Each structure stands twice: as C-alpha cells, then as structure tokens.
Amino acid sequence: SRPMEQWKTVRIIYLKKVTKQQQVISDNDIRPLSLFSCIAKLLNSTIKLRIDAHLEMNGLLSPDTHGFRNRHGTNHNLVTLTSTILSNKIKNIPTQAIFIDISSAFNRVQIHKLKTIMDDLNFPSYISAWVHKFFIGKLYTDGVHYQRCNSGLDQGSTLSPALFNIYTSQLSQGLSNVTFTTFADDMALYAQDHEHAAVTEILQEQFNLLQDKLQGLNLPINYTKTCVIDFSKKLRNQVREIKITTPNGFIKQVDHVKYLGVILDRRLNFQQHTKYIKEKVKKDITALQYLKGTNWGNHPNEQMILYKMVIRPKIEYGTAACLWARRSYAISLQKQQNQALSYLQPHQGQPGSSSSGALNNKSPPL
C-alpha cells in the first residue's frame, strides 16, 4: 500500500463559481479541481467498486444518504422532501426545514479520522491502508506554487465522493423526530409536529446535536448561507418567526432556497423555480436561433444534439419534485420547449432543407 510518488502529485486548476459578482474576491469564489495520474485513477476506480460493495452489503449508509450511490440521485432527496411537506400541508401539520451549508467540506476531511472510521466499519485493512497512504503527503501544484498537504479529499478524485459518505455516515445516528437527508455536502434537516412551537423546539434540539457532530469531524457550518424555512400554512396577518440559535446568533429565515438546483419556496408552488428555469433556457434558445442561421447555419442533426444536451435537461431536471406545481407553470415551460424545437428545422436553401433531408436527418457530406 505504498503508492508511487508520481501518483501523489496533483495538478490544480481553478474554476470560478457561478455567482452574481464578476471578480474573484476570496477563496470561496473559486472551485479547485484536481488532475490525477490516469493509472492512479484506474486503480482507484477498482478500489471504489469494493468500497461501494462493502457499504451496500452491510447497510452502512443511511437510507436518506443519496449522494454518489448506485440507483440514488438528487431526485430522491427532492421527492422525499417535497412529498413530506405536501402531505403535511394536506393534514395541516406544520413543517420546518433547515438547509445546512458546510464551509469547504471536502477540503476539511481529516484523513487519520477517516481511516479510524473505516476500521470501525470493518473495511478490509488493505483498502483503509491504501486510502491513508494515497491521501497523506500529496504534493499540490498549480504550475507555479507547490505545497504538501495531509488533509482533505480532492474534488476530482475517483474515491472522494464515496469516502465523504463514509466520513459523514454517522451524522444521522442519535437524531430523533427529524429527517436528515444528504447529498454529499448538501444537507437538510426537517421536522413536523402538530404545534408550530414544538417543531421549532425539536429542530433546535437536534440541530445542536448535529452541530457538535460536525465540529467533531472538523466540518464547520457556514451560518451565513445556512437558512430555515417554514413550509406550514400561515395565518392571515400573522408572521411565524422561527428562531434557531447558533454561536453566531439566529439562523436567517427565508421564503425560498435553492436546494440541489431546485428553488423551493415557502408555499411550494415552484413559481420562482419556473421563472429561474425560463431565464436560463431563454439564453440557450437565443443561441440556438443564432446557430440556425439562414444559408450557413447548423444542420438539424447538430441542432437536435444541442437541444438534447443543453435545453431539455434544464427543463426536465427536478420535474419529479414539481409535479404539484400549477398547470400554468408547466404550460409556460412547454411553450419555451416548443420555441426551441422550432429552431431545429433548417431554412430553405440550407443543406438538409429538402423533405428527404429533413426526414433522414443526416449531416451533409463535407
């Protein structure tokens, strides 16, 4: 279990996070990606298969942990959360949720503690030894600077997602009367009860317990981005305040939050999410219209590929959780999709504009 030193040299590239501000102000505005040796990635892929098999065969992960698991995805988190909220709304049961943000979660993983957790979960000794040796003493470089580091899971490593699930596998243990759902470092804690005050009390108690567990794992909560939402039916002219205390004061209460790419609003009618998707798709449709051109534009086959890869996934993502949205919102998205489809047909005079070319949908010869 002694990896070659060349495998432990990691090239770092920086990507700017999608934010409203144009310039990079702090480290939180960039996302570092790690480039590894291809041979090391092949070996780690084999080890990952054995890690996943051990996790699933022994049931070591919580059923509400859906990140980077076979037959699990973001839709599981979203559908579980939204269906619970809607069911409670029908029964007139208050529901409150805390959406937790972790500061640089993957970079703060302690490798020695990770190895201890793996040993406690009865992983084969050669797997835990390899993980420890591979992630300890790595050399990071961006082409100019060089630095060795003994902590953190690299974003871009084959093993990192599975190892992070192992590192946080015991967070849900001991929590009661709440649901704690996770997708990697995206976490949500929600509870329901017949009394509004009782729900807040349950959330406060279990959130305090969760804070202590996260601190023990060296995963501090980013309180500025953590928020709480009341999904209950509000009475007229009455604002229900949720006061969840933290070392930095109270968690901010909001009317909507973006969770796993879907905007969840207090009423759960997905109006803001629909507007958000329409704005994103509008830019893509404009680009598709330009690429259609007149006598020089893309062939319908290429236009169809762009539509399937760029536009349709944005419209369809999260629809499993948005089934209860108003019909008018779905109709507005359908109109946008129809507009995009109208730009797949070529202009007269373009290659493929004849009836036979359009039906065959083949690229013209070079």
Which of these three, 206, 236, 265, is where a domain ends?
Answer: 265
pLDDT score, position 232? 85
Q: Do both 64 and 107 map to the same domain?
A: yes
Q: Do both 209 and 347 map to the same domain?
A: no
Q: Do both 229 and 294 map to the same domain?
A: no
Q: Please report whether residue 358 resides in a domain.
A: no
Q: Please report whether residue 365 resides in a domain.
A: no
The Cα 315–Cα 270 span in angstroms is: 13
Nearest to 232 by CA among 83, 81, 85, 82: 85
Paired with 179 in beta bridges are 190
Q: Do both 148 and 226 map to the same domain?
A: yes
Domain region containing 321:
271-351
Domain count, the chain: 2
Which of these three, 208, 238, 265, is where a domain ends?
Answer: 265
CA angle (199, 201, 204) in 5-degree steps: 110
For 126-138, how does the pLDDT look when each residue is reduced to its tens digit (9 = 90+)?
999 999 999 998 8
Q: Do both 50 and 113 map to the same domain?
A: yes
Nearest to 329 by CA among 276, 266, 284, 291: 276
Q: Do both 283 and 259 map to the same domain?
A: no
The Cα 327–Cα 264 span in angstroms is: 17
Cβ neighbours of residue 290 closer than 8 Å, sequence gap 6 or more: none
For 215-244, how does the pLDDT look when each residue is reduced to its tens digit (9 = 90+)?
999 999 999 999 999 998 765 556 688 999
pLDDT score, position 362? 47
What parts of the chain have a pLDDT lower than 70?
Answer: 1-3, 18-28, 234-239, 294-296, 346-366
Encode burial over 130-160: b for 16+ CB neighbours within 10 A, e otherwise.
Answer: bbbebbbebebeeeeeeeeeebbbbbbbbbb
Which of these three, 245, 265, 285, is where a domain ends?
Answer: 265
Q: Please report whether residue 339 resides in a domain.
A: yes
pLDDT score, position 243? 93
Q: Do both 171 and 43 map to the same domain?
A: yes
Q: Do both 231 and 311 map to the same domain?
A: no
Q: Do both 218 and 345 map to the same domain?
A: no
Look up residue 222 and give its two tokens. Answer: 């980013």
Q: Do both 182 and 304 map to the same domain?
A: no
SS3 259: strand
Q: Please report whether residue 364 resides in a domain.
A: no
Q: Please report whether residue 109 resides in a domain.
A: yes
Q: Please report whether residue 130 resides in a domain.
A: yes
Q: Please report whether residue 359 resides in a domain.
A: no
pLDDT score, position 30? 77
Q: Do both 74 and 106 map to the same domain?
A: yes
Cβ neighbours of residue 333 closer than 8 Å, sequence gap 6 or more: 274, 277, 278, 281, 315
Look at the block and give the residue holding tokens 């796993």: 260
User: Which is it for the CA torsion 203, 318, 160, 29, positive or negative?
Assistant: negative
Q: Please report whether residue 131 resides in a domain.
A: yes
Q: Do both 195 and 302 map to the same domain?
A: no
pLDDT score, position 354? 41
